[in-house]
Amino acid sequence: MLRTFIAIVSAVALILCCNPAEAQKRHSDNGDGTYTNPVINADFPDPDVIRVGDTYYMVSTTMFVFPGVTILKSHDLVNWEYCSNAVPRFDFHPCYNLDFRCNRYGHGQWATSMRYHKGKFYLLFITLDEGGFLCTASKAEGPWTIRKLPKGFYDPGLFFDDDGRIYVTHGYSDIYITEVNENIEPVGKDSLVFRGDIRRGLEGMHVYKINGYYYLYGTYGGRDGIQVALRSKNIYGPYEQKVVISDPSDNVNFGVHQGALIQTQTGEWWTMLFSDRGPFGRFPSLQPVTWVDGWPMVGVDGKGVITYRKPNVGKTYPITTLPTSDEFDSPTLGMQWGWNHNPDTTRWSLTARPGFMRIITGRPVSGLRDARNTLTQRMFANYDATVPSVYTTRMEFANMRDGDVAGLAIFQDPYAFIGVKQIDGQRYIVMENHGLEIASAPLQQNAIYLRATARYDTGEATFSYSLDNKTFKPLGNTLRMRFALSVFTGNKICLFNYATREGGGYVDFDWIRLD
């Protein structure tokens, strides 16, 4: 019966993929009671998901981007919307300001544990340099408060037991349990409860108590991740181990791993994991869970599902699509945006010229990697991987100063951009690929349309510009995008303006649109 259902669903998916309008959709919901993985086609890694009443909340890793520690909410685990960015800025070290020739690329907020207990939301995370942090709020929408903890826990899993005691699981390869008090301060020693024995890298544990068993749910990480469950009748073990999914299939579920177990209000079990999807980042994958001999087995027949029936949550909810385009008509920044490291709040504005995002240069820097007030968002892939993601922005630049560089970038390691540079009063359209100027041409006007075209299927990006938003002229060469651990987030689309000589110049971005 199940195989018949999957065959029917696969046929429906084949029909959908041949419909050009459907091929370019950017939401998981197929509109026919099924969904297609990834459940979000963008970089939302290390997910933890909880249900509070009829609402599901998901937190993910944002590292050095602020506002950050992004929380999404959903009513059906398929259609998600932004809820809040729990940490507006991170003022615990000057490196988060790109000061003193230091940064936090590849570091910052990491693998957050999310819990709800007695009317309060908790977010527990570590930064690799500054230690442990706890965010709390009475509503997931915020406001959130943040507090540095006396002890940090690597890849923490916060757990409130039914006897009132509180624990954190943590560790890499060696997994520990630590009892903490209500302030998440240790009241006992770190107790080693399990040593990973499949390979190195056991991590990302979350704790659940189900039918009298304590379950530690985690991964042997990496692109070919292996998701496992450990179980014991005692929080301190001994624990037995079970591989619940190890899928090396050459598809969107390759190496699906690290995430959360979720029970719906109708009693179904699901898990939100993620898979490494190359330069665009790490995408969340929603998988069914079947309990077999007390183990939460993931997927169907040992493989992750691609197109499958939606979770039964008792109701049907509308299809939603996370925002990507922005007309900059609001006086507040949309929740899809984050700054590359902490911004200088005096050097950007949505109100100085209503309807425009103004970015003002600060202290001179050598290039984009060191530029403060670079505005970023995740790049979204289409469900038809052959359909490119095309980002276009309109920029006005009459108030640039000599040495200023402003434009549209795709940022990781390497990065590239198309933009405008002013030298000795003359402006040029330029394309730069990882610090090298590839092409330039003189400009006479004060406004321009810039475009970045990123291909999910090939991992390549190209750049072009237009004077009328009708005819676009290619400039420069091809960026071969990567997912490098030196940055450790998916490639971002960026709007930027930086100085190489003196601060104070500014540009106005009219809008940005994902076509």
DSSP annotation string for 175-206: EEEEEE-TTS-BSSPPEEEEE--SSS-EEEEE
Task: Go through the chain and tell me how many residues it has.
Answer: 515
Question: C-alpha 23: how far from its chain's center?
Answer: 23
Mean pLDDT of 311-325: 96
Quickly state the pLDDT bin for 20 (edges 50, 70, 90): very low
At 113 the pLDDT is 98
- DSSP lists the bridge partners of residue 57 as 50, 73
Mean pLDDT of 400-415: 98
At 440 the pLDDT is 97
At 100 the pLDDT is 72
pLDDT digits (tens, 9 = 90+) for 243-280: 999 999 999 999 999 999 999 999 999 999 999 999 99
pTM: 0.94
- Identify whether the C-beta of residue 255 lies closer than 8 Å to the C-beta of residue 29: no
pLDDT digits (tens, 9 = 90+) for 97-114: 998 789 999 999 999 999
- Identify whether the C-beta of residue 389 lies closer than 8 Å to the C-beta of residue 495: no
At 15 the pLDDT is 32
- DSSP lists the bridge partners of residue 37 as none
pLDDT digits (tens, 9 = 90+) for 430-476: 999 999 999 999 999 999 999 999 999 999 999 999 999 999 999 99
- Identify whether the C-beta of residue 430 lies closer than 8 Å to the C-beta of residue 419: yes
**DSSP secondary structure letters along 30-79:** -SSSEEESSSSSS---S-EEEEETTEEEEE---BTEESEEEEEEESSSSS
- Identify whether the C-beta of residue 122 lies closer than 8 Å to the C-beta of residue 168: no
> For residue 211, is pLDDT > 80?
yes
Cα Rg of the chain, angstroms: 23
Q: Which residues contact 393 (CB under 8 A, 6 or more apart)?
A: 408, 449, 450, 451, 495, 509, 510, 511, 512, 513
Residues of the chain with CATH 2.60.120.200: 338-514
Question: Mean pLDDT of all residues in the chain?
Answer: 94
- DSSP lists the bridge partners of residue 177 as 169, 191
Burial (CB count <10 Å: 0-12, 13-18, 19+), residue 4: exposed
At 24 the pLDDT is 56
Quickly state the pLDDT bin for 166 (edges 50, 70, 90): very high
pLDDT digits (tens, 9 = 90+) for 323-339: 999 999 999 999 999 99
Burial (CB count <10 Å: 0-12, 13-18, 19+), residue 183: exposed
User: What is the distance between the alpha carbons of residues 316 and 54, in angstroms, rounded to a whole number?
Assistant: 12
Mean pLDDT of 130-149: 98
At 101 the pLDDT is 82
Q: What is the residue type of 393?
A: T
Q: What is the residue type of 406?
A: A
Q: What percent of the chain has pLDDT over 90?
A: 94
At 515 the pLDDT is 83
At 132 the pLDDT is 98
- DSSP lists the bridge partners of residue 125 as 133
- Helix ranges, 292-447 (H): none
User: What is the distance between the alpha carbons of residues 507 and 446, in angstroms, rounded to a whole number?
Assistant: 10
What tokens were used for 57? Answer: 């909340």
Residues of the chain with CATH 2.115.10.20: 28-309
DSSP helix/strand/coil, 214: strand
Mean pLDDT of 77-97: 97
CATH no. of 28-309: 2.115.10.20
At 8 the pLDDT is 34
Quickly state the pLDDT bin for 46 (edges 50, 70, 90): very high
At 4 the pLDDT is 35
> For residue 17, is pLDDT > 90?
no
Q: Which residues contact 37 (CB under 8 A, 6 or more apart)?
A: 28, 252, 253, 285, 286, 287, 304, 305, 306, 307, 308
Q: What are phi and psi of 23, to 5 degrees?
A: -60, -30
CATH no. of 338-514: 2.60.120.200
**Residue 77 Cα distances to 191, 311, 313, 453, angstroms:** 35, 7, 9, 30
At 364 the pLDDT is 96
472-479 long-range contacts, CB within 8 A, separation 24+: 475/418, 475/429, 475/430, 475/431, 475/438, 475/439, 475/441, 476/416, 476/418, 476/431, 476/432, 476/433, 476/438, 476/439, 477/431, 477/433, 477/438, 477/439, 479/410, 479/414, 479/415, 479/416, 479/433, 479/434
Task: Name the residue with higher pLDDT: 20 or 81.
Answer: 81
